[in-house]
Amino acid sequence: MQALPGANPENPHARLPRVWGWILIAPMVVWLALFVLAPLGILFVYSLGTTGELGMVEFGLNWGNYARAFDPIYLKILARSIGYAALTTALCLIIGYPVGWFIARQRPVVRNRLLLLVMIPFWTSFLIRTYAWIAILKSEGLLNATLLAAKVIPQPLELLYTPFAVMIGLVYAYLPFMILPVYGSAEKLDNALVEAAHDLGAGPLRAFGEVIIPLTWPGIAAGMLLVFVPAIGMFAITDLMGGARVSMIGNVIHNQFTKALNYPFGAALGIIFTLLFVLTYALLQWRGRKRA
Amino acid sequence: MQKTIRLLLALGLAALCAASLSAQSKRLNFYGWSEYIPQAVLDGFTKETGIRVNYETFSSGEEMLAKLLSGRARYDVIQPNDYIAEALIKAGQLQALDTSKLTNLGNILPEFTGMPHDVENAFTVPYMVGTVGIVVNTEKVTEPVTGYADLFSGKYAGRIVVLDDGRELATAALYTLGKDLNDFSPANLEAVRPILAAWFKQIKLFDSDSPKTALIGGDVDLGLVWGGEAAILWDQDKKFQYVLPKEGAHLFVDLLAIPKRARNVENAHLFINYLLRPDVSKLISDSFPYTNPNGAARKLLTEAQLANPASYPKTEMKLDTFRHLGGDTGARIDKLITDLKNAN
């Protein structure tokens, strides 16, 4: 039996991968430091400031903005945002999982075409697509006109500027972010494992619950994170499709910078928000480990 | 030979410097409201003067104020509204205009000069003026709506659009109490709370950017909107009637000013003077039918434009303007609005 040449510590090339590794990830590290860590630091400094007479930020060491974030009204808005985001994630999972799975089971040619279809909406600006939904859902819009003409409904349905419209907007916007990671996991899944489960007597439900779900869990977890995290901070859809009647935490933060002239409070909310994301991520990682 | 090369080099350097200098002097950084100046006007200025306009936009005066106070942005001409300009003047952020360079300044009607935000007319020039009033789709609403009491009587619940602007809404509520429009004392803010709470239950949507959209689409039948938006509606269909609420109405003035840190002050004056020209100001009125404070430009408007009740409302009422509130009043109004929006 011929042994493969092992790594020889005296070989100068052995140390190279380490150096090369660092060089290769350097742009990423610089990117993270410049565009993630530095802004977070700035945000934190702002969050400790106060607002001056003309709305200028006066820097200091004031934890009041964090205390204010725990005012019941903001907790209520935060809870509602989490609720909306969770519902969005659940709906995206229910709708997106079968789609991702289906695409992954197709012949490569068909698969690529279907993937393209999922990604085509990204070619148009997100805001334009949201305005398209407004044109569809409004009182004299496409949907109501069609239903009225078909005599399905006697008078226009009130769809736009309701929580229902917000949910449509959110699920529509984030569905591809669930489909793509699920597809990624499902595509790698070895069909032999599913067949083995069936051979060993597992019904479709049991095979799904005990084989398919655990094996595609990385995709599910990534999809949940990709949907939940941005959905919770979304403010454009609630403004445009919800009529700005009900605020989400994203709207509150947006207002601090554009209307209330209160950068420090907006910054404090931003920091709390970021911590929340880290927590969500940690929770999902922990669940993932438990499953593994 | 070497001499020639040196000479050529020196000449080249000089040319480079001159080019970059003239590039600098052929530029203007303009920070204005979104949807408030026709592209044709900006293009016309570039065509006449060769000065390229970098146009950046904001969608609330507060947003602009914060950006200017942060002290890093360098604009040559800004477009603040009345109370924001007042704050900027107080903060020493604007530079005095050189009126000798503004030959068209005389076109501004006297009633739009010497206003509270800039009594001396030293720092600002009016761009457009407007009101906030009630617009009614008279095909759907047959009874007369003359003020806030009618609008929010409860009859039109779920059929109303209002500006998504806390200060405007709180001011409307102050009017119904007969209070001064700029008196946001804590007591007054508490007094308007129940009024706004009752109103909010009847509002279908909040939209400052384009409240006319929901009215045109038939999603709502009444609105508390910018006069210019109502003017466009009236222009499209006479069924959209505009009234100034009888409890009280105010004027907003959008201005042109030059920040203290402006780089191209000469160009800034050229630009402001250009916008004051009657033919240019008329172009602005054509696209954005607010109240034009430019008397010479008004002479160029059509009969129909001047007869638009939302652009030129006829009223006996005294129309005051917003003043700079200062302190944390803005934040307190925002908290009140957030509370009320999320009460249910």
Q: Indicate if the pLDDT at residue B71 is higher than 90.
A: no
Q: Indicate if the pLDDT at residue B141 is higher than 60.
A: yes
* Count of the separate structural domains present in chain B: 2
Domain match, B90 and B188 both:
no
Nearest CA-CA partner of A241 in A96, A136, A122, A144: A136
Domain match, B83 and B209 both:
no
Taking CA–CA distances from B216, the nearest residue in chain A reads A140
User: What's residue B137's pLDDT?
Assistant: 97
Q: Indicate if the pLDDT at residue B257 is higher than 50.
A: yes
Q: Which of A115-119, A169-173, B326-330 has the lowest mean pLDDT?
A: B326-330
Are the Cβ atoms of B207 and A244 closer than 8 angstroms?
yes
* Count of the separate structural domains present in chain A: 1
Are the Cβ atoms of A245 and B164 closer than 8 angstroms?
no
Distance CA A280, CA A231 (A): 13
Domain match, B141 and B159 both:
yes
Which DSSP string do the residues of B215-232 spell out, in sequence order?
HHTTS-SEEEEEHHHHHH
The CB density around residue B24, as the number of other CB atoms within 10 Å, is: 11
Q: Indicate if the pLDDT at residue B12 is higher than 70.
A: no
Higher-pLDDT residue of A26, A14: A26
Domain match, B246 and B256 both:
no
Distance CA B72, CA B150 (A): 47
User: What's residue A1's pLDDT?
Assistant: 42
Domain match, B101 and B191 both:
no
- Tokens standing for residue B251: 């004027």
The answer to the question of residue A66 being in a domain is: no
Are the Cβ atoms of A51 and B331 closer than 8 angstroms?
yes
For the domain that residue B218 is a member of, what is the CATH number? 3.40.190.10
Supply the range of the domain harboring residue B315. 130-251+311-341
For residues B120-146, give the mean pLDDT.
96
Which DSSP string do the residues of A125-170 spell out, in sequence order?
-HHHHHHHHHHHHSTTSHHHHHHHHTTS-SS----TTSHHHHHHHH
Taking CA–CA distances from A263, the nearest residue in chain B reads B66
Using pLDDT thresholds of 50, 70 and 90, give the confidence band for residue A3: very low
For residues A127-151, give the mean pLDDT.
92
Supply the range of the domain harboring residue A216. 72-291
Distance CA B90, CA B87 (A): 5
Please report how many Cα atoms fall inside a 13 Å half-sphere around the Cα of residue A280, on the Cβ side: 21
User: What's residue B9's pLDDT?
Assistant: 52
User: What's residue A52's pLDDT?
Assistant: 79
Question: Which residue among A56, A244, A256 places its CB closest to the CB of B69?
Answer: A56
For residues A126-133, give the mean pLDDT.
92
The answer to the question of residue A36 being in a domain is: no
Give the amino acid at A58: E
Question: Which residue among B218, B335, B341 places its CB closest to the CB of A245?
Answer: B341
Q: How far is B334 from chain A (nearest CA, A)?
A: 6
Q: For A201-255, what is the HEC assignment?
A: CCCHHHHHHHHHHHHHHHHHHHHHHHHHHHHHHCCHHHHHCCCCCCCCHHHHHHH
The answer to the question of residue A41 being in a domain is: no
Cα angle value B239/B251/B104 (rounded, 5°) = 105
Taking CA–CA distances from A241, the nearest residue in chain B reads B205
Mean pLDDT of chain A: 88
For the domain that residue A137 is a member of, what is the CATH number? 1.10.3720.10
Judging contacts by C-beta atoms under 8 Å, the chain B residues touching residue A138 are 214, 217-219
ipTM: 0.81
Domain match, B85 and B6 both:
yes
Domain match, B199 and B332 both:
yes
Bridge partners, residue B32, by sequence: B57
Q: What is the pLDDT of residues B266-302, one digit of tens each?
A: 999 999 999 999 999 999 999 999 999 999 999 999 9
Mutation to test the A interface, candidates B337, B338, B340, B344, most A Cβ within 10 Å: B338
Taking CA–CA distances from A69, the nearest residue in chain B reads B335
Domain match, B236 and B284 both:
no
The answer to the question of residue A225 being in a domain is: yes
Using pLDDT thresholds of 50, 70 and 90, give the confidence band for residue B70: confident
Q: A with B: how many residue pairs have Cβ under 8 Å apart?
A: 103
Distance between alpha carbon B132 and the CA centroid of its chain, in Å?
11
Bridge partners, residue B132, by sequence: B226
Are the Cβ atoms of B63 and A161 closer than 8 angstroms?
no
Q: Indicate if the pLDDT at residue A2 is higher than 50.
A: no
As a whole-number percent, the residues of chain A with pLDDT over 90 amount to 56
User: What's residue A291's pLDDT?
Assistant: 63
Domain match, B208 and B159 both:
yes
Helix (H, G, I), strand (E, B) or coil at B241: strand
Using pLDDT thresholds of 50, 70 and 90, give the confidence band for residue A277: confident
Using pLDDT thresholds of 50, 70 and 90, give the confidence band for residue B15: low
Q: Which of A256-260, B117-121, B163-167, B338-342 has the lowest mean pLDDT?
A: A256-260
Higher-pLDDT residue of A11, A1: A11
For A177, A178, A194, the CA distances from A119, given in Å and listed in that order, are 10, 12, 29
Mutation to test the B interface, candidates A144, A259, A262, A263, most B Cβ within 10 Å: A259
User: What's residue A8's pLDDT?
Assistant: 55
β A57-58/A50-51 pair status: antiparallel
Helix (H, G, I), strand (E, B) or coil at A198: helix
Question: Which residue among B66, B158, B339 places its CB closest to the CB of A263?
Answer: B66
The answer to the question of residue A57 being in a domain is: no
User: What's residue A9's pLDDT?
Assistant: 53
The answer to the question of residue A59 being in a domain is: no
Q: What is the pLDDT of residues A31-77, one digit of tens each?
A: 999 999 999 999 999 999 988 777 778 888 889 999 999 999 999 99
User: What's residue B68's pLDDT?
Assistant: 86
